[in-house]
Amino acid sequence: MAHKNTLNPLLNRKQAARYLGVSPGTLAVWDCTKQKHLNPILVGKLVHYRLADLDQFLDQRLVD
């Protein structure tokens, strides 16, 4: 059976920031202030993000 994350990989904060085109510090601020809903996942002391959540975040900001 395929593991769920193979279809929806997790990115660490640095990878997620690069994917979104912002700095890791900006992502940290968004998480702390709950400004953006990226649904961060805490794994131990490390923060990760689902690629699907990042894509949804970007899709919500598309301009016609």
Q: Kindly state the helix (H) or strand (E) to which residue 64 belongs, with its residue range.
A: none
Percent of the chain at pLDDT exceeding 70? 88
Residue 1 above 50 pLDDT?
no
Q: If you average pLDDT over residues 8-34, what whole number do you get? A: 94
6 vs 17 pLDDT, higher one = 17
State residue 56's pLDDT score: 93
Closest CA to 54 of 34, 37, 42: 37
- Give 43's DSSP letter: E
Residue 49 tokens read as: 């993000």
State residue 11's pLDDT score: 96
**Sheet with 41-43, edge to edge strand ranges:** 10-12, 46-50, 41-43
